[in-house]
Homo-oligomer: A and B are copies of this chain.
Amino acid sequence: MGMGPLPEEQSRDRPARLRDVAALAGVDPSLVSRVLSGATGFSIRPETRMRVHRAAEELDYRPNHAARSLRTARSMAVGMVVPNLANVVYARIHAGAAERAAQVGYSLLVATGPTAPLARTLYGRIDGLMVASATSDAGPAGDDDAPTLPTVLVNRQEDGDVPSITVDDEEGADLATRHLLDLGHVRVAHLAGPQNADTARRRLHGYLRAMERAGAEVTGALVAGESYEEQGGFDAARELVTRDPAPTAIFVANIQAAIGALAALRELGIGVPEDVSVVALHDAPLARFLDPPLTTVRMPLEEMGRRAVTMLLDYLAGGDAQRIRVQTAPQLIERRSTARPRAT
């Protein structure tokens, strides 16, 4: 190959290369590669392996990602797109995903914002992408002129054969609604999320299902809202309670909207839970410090995150596009925002 400086001497402070390790251990670079990358199904004398490891440690060897990626055509990293960082839901999904990714030796890179531009930034740095934006701002990576990247949808599901993983939002909504029904409420309202998010649609279905099973009538007056945010929840709650007949309980599609709803009811002088009970989907550390402490339904988000990674890796390995629904049961966390209706 005609190298210049002999590798015997380690030069300056430049990070050690495979070749340097090999030289120090007195073996060939390819051997070092096999040993250090934990390749299996080849034989080596234990003593040689030892020497290699020792040399690597000695030189504080760290494989060069770029070289490895170039050679193997894989980056050993996966990406995750979330709509924004300040959100417990995504934080929990991410936590699960990060845990699993670490377990299997992958790096997990996060990015925020609209999917398409991100796919462009991340392209070439990751092998696959998890899109955890609930609303289809830009479908799976590949829209407009963004490069196509193997993608799984997390917490969202779409027509066609796009792989996806979701939790059982319908069951969560059903559980929340049933809680209200069981307390004796009849006019149970739903403060819904944006209907372009399929989680919101599934929560609405869950609500309707529970109401129907209980034989409770659902009129248009009982459903309002189009938002997962505080302000939207505030506005919708205001509207809801002025309708006729007024609900005695509200199932809110997510916790942020519920915070807005609580504020609206407070401002109107409507007591929670004396006048109106409130329960929200998704739990957060914050919930118990609200006024009143908010009853919530906790979803298995970490598990979804973990399984999303597993699923993406399977998909990358040539598996086919699955649609997984995490079946772990949602969990009701009773706090002080729900109670029996005033005049049973």
Interface size on A, residues (CB 8 A): 52
In Å, the complex CA distance between A10 and B284 comes to 53
- A69 within 8 Å of B by Cβ? yes
Cα separation A108 to B85 with both chains bound (whole Å): 14
A86's nearest neighbour on chain B, judged by CB, is B91
What is the bound-complex CA distance between A296 and B122, given in angstroms? 36
Q: Are A259 and B286 in contact (CB under 8 A)?
A: yes
Q: Is the CB of B289 within 8 A of A260?
A: yes
Closest residue of B by beta carbon distance from A291: B291
Tell me if A3 counts as interface (CB < 8 A to partner B): no
Q: A44 on the interface (CB 8 Å rule)? A: no
C-alpha gap A104/B229 in the complex (Å): 32
Contact B85 A110 (CB under 8 A): yes
Question: CB-CB contacts of A74-95 with B at 8 A, as 1s and 0s?
Answer: 0101000010111110110011
Interface assignment of A66: CB less than 8 Å from any CB of chain B: yes
Task: Give the residue name and chain of the B residue nearest to A121 (CB).
Answer: B107
* Nearest-Cβ distance from residue A233 to partner chain B, whole angstroms: 8
Asked if B125 and A107 sit within 8 Å, CB to CB, the answer is: yes
Residue A325, interface by CB 8 Å: no
Q: Name which residue of chain B comes closest to A260, CB basis.
A: B289
Chain B contacts for A67, CB-based, 8 A? 66, 70
Cβ contact within 8 Å between A91 and B98: no
Measured between beta carbons, the chain B residues less than 8 angstroms from A122 are 107
Given contacts A62-B147, A109-B109, whether A263 and B289 have CB atoms under 8 Å apart is yes
A123 at the interface (CB under 8 A from B): yes
Within 8 A of B (CB), among A251-265: 259-260, 262-263
Q: Is A220 an interface residue (CB 8 A)?
A: no
- For A30, the chain B residues whose CB sits under 8 A away are none
Name, among A86, A117, A121, A125, the residue most crowded by chain B CB atoms within 10 Å (CB to CB). A86
Q: How far is the CA of A69 from the CA of B67 in the complex (A)?
A: 8
Taking a contact as CB atoms under 8 Å apart, the answer to whether B66 and A124 are in contact is yes
Q: Does A234 lie at the interface of the complex (its beta carbon under 8 Å from any beta carbon of B)?
A: yes
Cβ-defined contact, B82 with A75, below 8 A? no
Give me 18 A-to-B residue pairs in the complex whose CB atoms sit less than 8 angstroms apart, sorted by A's number.
A65-B123, A65-B124, A67-B70, A70-B70, A85-B110, A86-B88, A94-B112, A95-B112, A102-B117, A102-B121, A107-B122, A107-B125, A108-B111, A108-B121, A110-B111, A110-B112, A263-B288, A266-B291
Question: Which 5 pairs of residues, A with B, have the shortest CB-CB distance?
Answer: A65-B124, A66-B69, A86-B91, A85-B91, A66-B70
Chain A residues at the B interface, C-beta cutoff of 8 Å: 62-67, 69-70, 75, 77, 82, 84-88, 90-91, 94-95, 98, 102, 107-113, 117, 121-125, 147, 229-231, 234, 259-260, 262-263, 266, 284-286, 288-291
- Beyond A66-B70, A66-B124, 6 additional contacts (C-beta under 8 Å) are A64-B70, A86-B91, A108-B111, A110-B111, A262-B289, A263-B291
